Structure 1
Amino acid sequence: MDKIARDNIPDELYRVAPEVFDHMPTKFLDGFRSPCWKVKSKLTCLPSFMLTGVGKCGTTDVWDKIVAHPDIVVSDKEPRWWTRLRVGRDRGLDKSYPLSWYANQYNNLGKAISEARDSNKAKKLIAGDGSPSIFWDNIEWKTTLTAACQNLTTPRYVLADVIRTVLPKTKILAVFRNPITRLYSDYNYANRSCTPAFFHDSVTEATRIFSSCLASSTRKECVYKYFTEIYKNSLHHKLPKERPGMNMNPIKRLFKGYYSLFVPDWLKAFPRDQVMFIRMEDWHSECTTMLPNIYQFLDLEPLSKQNTDEICNKTLKNSTPGMNAKGPMLDTTKQLLDKFYAPDRKDLAQILNDDRFLWND
């Protein structure tokens, strides 16, 4: 049995996810790539990798091509358990979903391992969780604090710490995209009738509101301040009036492009060789080179060049339809956002020691 050391967990960390710490096994079966255990006679398993990032960074296409590997048992891409269902926060939810529900999403993995005729093959089988929000969504952080910690402006522990504690061998992939084009794509995806002019008005007001916070607080403090306020729509009245059928409040989409604020949490929690960062722009042009590297990162057997080419030539998944029909982003909007995101791009490039994340290309 692989025993997970979980003694002396700080109370603050425990309070981030008590339902995880109370019910996650402390031992997993030896010999399997996947974290598995027995529930009575049933083999129960969880994912061994997580494909994260931010919406409209291409995670669906990366996922679609990664899971084409024969040693990956396909599951639903986004169970959203860690960030939403676990705490009962999603559309139409009136209850939280337990760890057993999450494990049931990977029944196919346990079944495939149990039924595999080749024991060596069974030991290699893995599955993943492709919920992008795992990377950034710590919205509940304030609600988990004790009274003595209510004066904190940023959390000491986040979801990365929880996952590292209970599933320490997990591999993390994060997909990023130029935050300017990501925001436009995201906003168009949610607001199908959005025009470039209306997008500009929304961004202008959202950046003004956010910048007013920056006058007295750090970027990280402002993001975590708005984690609680934005999702309660407390800023809704300050933004341009909602048009019929439009998903408003662009400020909640704006801060998701502050990648450098979340990356350190994962690099602090996990060893560097368990975290991989991908640029969507590179993925679209270099899939046949990058996909074998991803498989190697996940400790999967390499595929033939022919198989890799066939996978990479599959149709692009989940691109935003009709975005070009609305017209390109206004130059004035690009300039505004370029200035807004410049500090974060600089920080990200320094953290990762990689100037590609300046997005000067």
Structure 2
Amino acid sequence: MSTVYVRDINSRMARRRLFLITLSLFAAIMIITTFTFYLHDDKLNSQFNDEGSSLKNEGPYKTHGTVLQYATTKGHFTDETLTRYGANLKLNLRHRCPEGSLMMSAKANSYRHGKGKTSKCPKVFIIGTKKGGTTSLYQYLSMHPDFRGIGTNNTKWVGETFYFAQRYGKISLNSYLNLFPKKKMSGDASVDNLLHCKAPFRILKTCGGRDTKVIILLRHPVQRYVSNFMMRVVGRAYKLHSNSSSIHDQLLHDIKLLNKHLGASDKVYPHRASEWNKLLCLFECCQNILYEGLYYVFVMNWLCNFPKENILIINSEEMFWRPAFILKQVLDFVGLKPLSTDSLYEITSHVYNKGVKPFLPQHHMSSDDQELLLSYYSIFNDAIFDLLDWKLNWS
């Protein structure tokens, strides 16, 4: 009996050792695999950053005494920053508004420099792009003593109402206006306002163009695509996506959907940026990640239908690298009193709604898929660089 008992103990100990060895090997493989993918992602991001930057600044927390120094002349920023006022953008023959632009109608012009239906609107609209830093910028503004944001304790829908793009005519205007404080400046950060072709005129008609400020952030479109895809993978609001979702399949789906709706309206994907209006009003039927990266289409729609002098365009990467510098520009643009250098750095020391890195093989975009995606973006990337005088390379 004792011999059998000893053998039984030895057998159990051997199985336990085997189990622990197997578990350790599995854990080691997972750690090595994860580390390899993160290295790949960091290398990819480093490549994007190196190619996408013309800035000499080393980051938001270096050269503390000089980062915040920028010059203004009659309200216009110098070329030391990629930030652009819409008023500085002269629309030449390469960037002309189509004849059907709302701003060319007498009805739209009556609101352009005047008041809208109500004076109770928020004064600031951060309209996108998605995953371009809109949540962080809205939170930074909300820390100013004279600005009060909405939903700032809710990390999911900070500042977002979806009113002018998705809920317009579905809920009352008063329901929308009651979301905002009455005694302080406030703002709306609904990023779909950039994409919806009717949003500029709706805001113009409701809120007026004289005092309404619009802020647009533009991020490297491929990085934005990956970040938006990962948000869908990990976000509970997107039931069709899970860890098994493939970014390759997502891209093919987006291309198919875009071509389908273009074909339904007897249109083909344009080969010239001057045909941008062919892609304009596909928001409701073609909501996908690829479509959201056609920045030139949406920026031109806003410039053609809203007072250009009240539009500020920011490069997202510049805001990521030196947020205090960008925040100072934004405060000046919207008319809030300046803050001290220490306050600016304290406010911008936190990143909100930070994205997640790809963490499984199917979540990484291959070089072939990058080229395919850029084939849809290239002419519009070149056009936005020309429009904004950005010496960048998003290839």
TM-score normalized by structure 1?
0.65
Measured after TM superposition, the shift of residue 133 of structure 1 is 0.8
Comparing 305-314 with 330-339, greater Cα deviation is found at 330-339
Q: Distance in 2 between matches of 1:162 and 1:79?
A: 14
Q: 115, 123, 135: which one pairs with 2:194?
A: 135
SS at match of 1:172: strand
- Counterpart residue type for residue 268 of structure 2: S
- Counterpart residue type for residue 143 of structure 2: A
Query: Could you tell me which residue of structure 2 aligns to residue 152 of structure 1?
Result: none
**4+ residue runs of structure 1 moved beyond 6 angstroms?**
none
SS at match of 1:50: strand
Quickly say closer, same or farther: Cα 1:209–1:104, change in 2 above 3 A: closer
Question: Over aligned residues, Cα RMSD in angstroms?
Answer: 2.9
Q: 293, 301, 323: which one pairs with 1:265?
A: 301
Measured after TM superposition, the shift of residue 53 of structure 1 is 1.2
Quickly say closer, same or farther: Cα 1:227–1:131, change in 2 above 3 A: closer
Quickly say closer, same or farther: Cα 1:209–1:49, change in 2 above 3 A: closer
Gaps of 5+ in 2: 1-104, 152-158, 235-241
Contact between 2:138 and 2:149, CA under 8 Å: does it hold in 1?
Answer: no
Gaps of 5+ in 1: 1-6, 15-20, 26-34, 36-44, 88-95, 114-124, 139-157, 232-251
Measured after TM superposition, the shift of residue 204 of structure 1 is 3.2
Is the counterpart of residue 78 in structure 1 residue 160 in structure 2?
yes
Contact between 2:142 and 2:148, CA under 8 Å: does it hold in 1?
Answer: yes
1:252-291 equivalent positions in 2, closer than 5 A? 252-291=288-327
Measured after TM superposition, the shift of residue 221 of structure 1 is 5.7
Measured after TM superposition, the shift of residue 309 of structure 1 is 0.7
CA deviation profile, 1:122-156 (whole Å, cap 9, x unmatched): xxx31111111111124xxxxxxxxxxxxxxxxxx
1:139-288 equivalent positions in 2, closer than 5 A? 158-165=198-205, 166-168=207-209, 169-192=211-234, 193-194=242-243, 198-207=246-255, 210=258, 213=262, 216=268, 218=270, 220=276, 223-224=279-280, 226-230=282-286, 252-288=288-324
- Counterpart residue type for residue 166 of structure 2: R
Contact between 2:231 and 2:355, CA under 8 Å: does it hold in 1?
Answer: yes
Measured after TM superposition, the shift of residue 331 of structure 1 is 1.6
Q: Distance in 1 between matches of 2:377 and 2:366?
A: 16
Q: Work out which of the two has the higher radius of gyration on C-alpha atoms and give 1 or 2.
A: 2
Quickly say closer, same or farther: Cα 1:199–1:47, change in 2 above 3 A: same
Aligned residue pairs, count: 262
Q: Distance in 2 between matches of 1:133 and 1:353?
A: 25
Q: Distance in 1 between matches of 2:379 and 2:148?
A: 40
Q: 89, 100, 108: which one pairs with 2:174?
A: 100
Q: Distance in 2 between matches of 1:337 and 1:292?
A: 34
CA deviation profile, 1:101-130 (whole Å, cap 9, x unmatched): 011101xx22xx3xxxxxxxxxxx311111
- Counterpart residue type for residue 331 of structure 1: S
Measured after TM superposition, the shift of residue 82 of structure 1 is 1.2
- Counterpart residue type for residue 261 of structure 1: V
Is the counterpart of residue 341 in structure 1 residue 377 in structure 2?
yes
Q: Distance in 1 between matches of 2:371 and 2:243?
A: 19
How high is the sequence identity, in percent, across the aligned residues? 21
Contact between 1:207 and 1:340, CA under 8 Å: does it hold in 2?
Answer: no
Quickly say closer, same or farther: Cα 1:343–1:211, change in 2 above 3 A: farther
TM-score normalized by structure 2?
0.60
Q: Distance in 2 between matches of 1:179 and 1:319?
A: 17
SS at match of 1:105: coil
Q: Distance in 2 between matches of 1:221 and 1:283?
A: 29
- Counterpart residue type for residue 175 of structure 2: W
Measured after TM superposition, the shift of residue 292 of structure 1 is 0.5
Query: Could you tell me which residue of structure 2 aligns to residue 309 of structure 1?
Result: 345
Contact between 2:254 and 2:289, CA under 8 Å: does it hold in 1?
Answer: no
Query: Could you tell me which residue of structure 2 aligns to residue 126 of structure 1?
Result: 185
Measured after TM superposition, the shift of residue 230 of structure 1 is 3.5
Contact between 1:188 and 1:194, CA under 8 Å: does it hold in 2?
Answer: no
Query: Could you tell me which residue of structure 2 aligns to residue 122 of structure 1?
Result: none
SS at match of 1:191: helix
Measured after TM superposition, the shift of residue 268 of structure 1 is 2.0
Measured after TM superposition, the shift of residue 322 of structure 1 is 5.3
Measured after TM superposition, the shift of residue 256 of structure 1 is 0.8
Measured after TM superposition, the shift of residue 195 of structure 1 is 5.7
Measured after TM superposition, the shift of residue 191 of structure 1 is 2.5
Measured after TM superposition, the shift of residue 8 of structure 1 is 6.4
Contact between 1:49 and 1:171, CA under 8 Å: does it hold in 2?
Answer: yes
Contact between 1:177 and 1:279, CA under 8 Å: does it hold in 2?
Answer: yes
Measured after TM superposition, the shift of residue 271 of structure 1 is 3.1
Is the counterpart of residue 49 in structure 1 residue 124 in structure 2?
yes
